[in-house]
Amino acid sequence: MTYFIDGLKIIFPIFFIMALGYFARKRKIIDEGFIEGATSLVFYFALPISLFNDITKEESLKMNPIYVAYGMATLLASFLIALAIGKIFIKDDRKLTAFVHAAFRGNFVYIGFPIIRGIMGNLAPSSSVPIIMFVVSFQNILGVGLLTYYHGGKMNFKKLFLQILKNPMTLACIFGFLARAVSYRPEGFIGETMGMLSKLSTPLALILIGGSLNFQGIRENVATIFSAVFIKEILLSAIFIPLGVLIGFNREELIVLYVFYAVPSALNTFLFAKKMGSDHELTSQIISVGYTFSILSFPLGIAILSELGII
C-alpha cells in the first residue's frame, strides 16, 4: 500500500494539471485555436529544448545496442499483438486500424517524460534518448504503414524518413550529442532562455492534453475501448518488463521501458486517423479513457515493480 501511495504522489500532479486543462476547455477559458497554437509551440520549441538540455547536462550518456534492439523488437511485437487481438472481434477496417494504432502507440514524450522525472528526479535519464531516437521513430513507421495498408494509400519511405529526420525531437537528440562531443553547455542568457522554455514544456503539454480529451459516445464502443486501453497500459508491460529483467537491464532502463509500454495512447493517433481514413472518433474515445484509467494503472504498476524490487 505504501508503494501505491508513493505512485499516486508521482502521478497525481501530472493528472491534476491535465484535469485543469480539461475543465479550462469546458469553461471556454481555452479553445481549439489556443490548443493548436500552443501545441505547435510545445512540439517545435519547448520539448526539443528540454530534451537538448537534458542530454547536455547528463553526466554519462551510453547507447546500449541490446537495449535499443529490445525496444524495437518489443514495439513490433506490441503491434502484432494488438493486430492479432483486433482481428478476432473487429471486422470494420476503420475501427480495426483505430484500435491497433491506439493500442500500441503511446504518448512517451508528452506523458512519459514527466512520469520518468517524477520517479527518478528532474533530469530525464540517458536511457530515454535511444527510445526517442529509434523506437519512437519506429512507431511512426508502423503507424503510417498500418493506415496506408488498410486505407489504400502508397508508402513513401523517402518522405517518411525525411519526416522522422526533421522531427524536432530527433533534431534535439542529434544536436544534443553534437554539443556533448564539443563539451558545449548553454550558459549565460542563452542558457537562461532555454531553461525557461524547458520549464514551460511539461505543464503546458499536460494542459493541452487535458483540453483535448473527449468522452462523448463512449457507450457505443465500450468493449473495443477498454480492450485497447488494457493492451496499452497493462498487457504490454506485464509481458515485456519480466523479459527485460531476465535479459539484465538496469533499473533506469527498466523504468524507461515500463513507462514507454504503459503510457496512454498518443494524441497524434487521432490526427493520423482523421487524415488517413481511420475511425477518428473511436481513437479519440480510446485516448480519453486511457488517460483517465492511467491515473490508477500507473501507481499500481509502480507499486508492483517497487514491491518486486525491479525499480
What confidence score (pLDDT) does residue 239 get? 96
What confidence score (pLDDT) does residue 69 get? 94
Place of cell 494488438: 82
What confidence score (pLDDT) does residue 80 get? 96
Burial pattern 171-194, b for ≥16 Cβ within 10 A else e, equals ebbebbbebeeeeeebeeeeeeeb
If you average pLDDT over every residue of the chain, what do you get? 86
**Angle at CA 10, nearest 5°, toward 289 and 34?**
55
In this prediction the pTM is 0.85
Under a CB-based contact definition with an 8 Å cutoff, are residues 236 and 100 in contact? no
For the record, the C-alpha cell of 296 comes out as 490508477
| CATH, residue 290 | 1.20.1530.20
Torsion sign (Cα): 289, 279, 76, 144: negative
Domain count, the chain: 1
Region 158-171 average pLDDT: 78
Under a CB-based contact definition with an 8 Å cutoff, are residues 142 and 79 in contact? yes
For the record, the C-alpha cell of 113 comes out as 517524460
Rounded CA gap, 35 and 270, in Å? Answer: 14
pLDDT beyond 90 at 261: yes
Q: Which domain covers residue 162, as residue numbers?
A: 2-307
How does pLDDT run across 122-161, given as a tens digit for each residue?
Answer: 555 567 777 877 888 888 888 888 888 887 666 677 777 7
107 vs 159 pLDDT, higher one: 107
Q: Maximum distance among all alpha carbons in the chain?
A: 59
